[in-house]
Structure 1
Amino acid sequence: MNHYQTLQLNSKATQQEIKLAYRRLAKQFHPDSQSEIQDCDRIIALNAAYEILGDRRSRRLYDQQQQLGQTSDFLAERQARNTAAQQQYRRHKTTSRPEISYQQWLREVYLPIDCLVAKILHPLKIEIEKLAADPFDDLLMEDFETYLDTCNDYWEQAQQKLASQPNPPQVAGVAANIYYCINHIGDGIKELKWFTMNYNDQYLHTGQEIFRIAGKLHCQAQEKIEFLL
């Protein structure tokens, strides 16, 4: 059985159809749902299928491999993407641009990022409390998804803002904290989005923990700023 069959779809399905099919089946077979059909093995298979088909790029690769009758190590590919992203960040740091003062960097880069990060991290507890009333309620879950979509928009803006100017040497420590904070936020959003799809509390707890670490990095950056000032 291939991933499309696992999701009860054909290979021509749209991304939205894949998402809806995964959510429907995950909810149907989830051990904590009210459904009489509960199957942990099916959940595992559904997760594996959606991890590949839910991402456009990995889906294209999967389709190509299916046509060639080959398999591919998608975990290794994901690690390679992460390594490439880190290398790109290092190149960005060493790219020669007109140097700005650290006060200007704080004003034009740090403060906007600080605001965006706060808008992402601070509402999480309240949003989870609202969802906890009934995680299987579609309307509550849609509200939580809207929050995550907003978080993703803020996260992308923070990434762009950080890349907009090279940091002066005086704020290298602050920039490092912000860089890793933003990275953690991206990972946390992914984990929380997985929870909205398969109702697996492990993704919820992992996402919360990653956000907690991001919050700590955020606070450390603020402390370094206070020392500078």
Structure 2
Amino acid sequence: MGKNYKESVKLIDKNTLYTPSEAVELVLKTSKAKFDETIDLALRLGVDPRHADQQVRGAVVLPHGTGKKVRVLVFAKGDKAKEAEDAGADYVGAEEYVQKIQKENWFDFDVVVATPDMMGVVGRLGRVLGPKGLMPNPKSGTVTFEVAKAIDEIKAGKVEYRVDKTAIIHVMIGKKSFEAKKLEENFHTLMDAVVKAKPAAAKGQYLKSVVISSTMGPGIKINPVKVLD
């Protein structure tokens, strides 16, 4: 534990469940690293991810973006490849990128978009893209013929959320350099999406815990009840 971390911990009452606005103010106060730290959320949900009908997954465009430059790889051909290039995709291609990923272990991208007709090609990468959370998926809008729209949304700050096998969602909502108000608006936009994505099969309390933290800072607990106010 470094000196800055210990000082940050003193600012937080670990027995208190803070309101979202209080937590955002605190996370900014406890972000003491010299670089622009990422602000993350960890949501523990009352679901059992082992069951297909209790999966929670989706995507949402944060009103103020994430503060991160996102590199987009698009699998497309013909007119759709041209559309992707014009929309600002960082890499556009087909089989050559499958080869590059498989043979060179190349991963200089953050999001993969594919047109539906290219999924047979992209499917060959399932074993390497899947574990990294990079496999295109219709639910997150990354398998689509509307490639320009998908790229625009991703570049504007679209984030994916997906419950892991421990029933936790990890997602970034911005950077330390953001104003508190913008972080709070991003927070509420994400939480609204996750709450709306509640599976019908989920019983009991849905939001078990909500914790916000910066890259190098301690976690700050948010009252799940206040999230829904």
Please report the TM-score for the alignment, with normalisation by the length of structure 1: 0.27
Greater C-alpha radius of gyration: 1
Which is helix-richer, 1 or 2?
1
Q: Which has the higher contact order (CA 8 A, sep 6+)?
A: 2
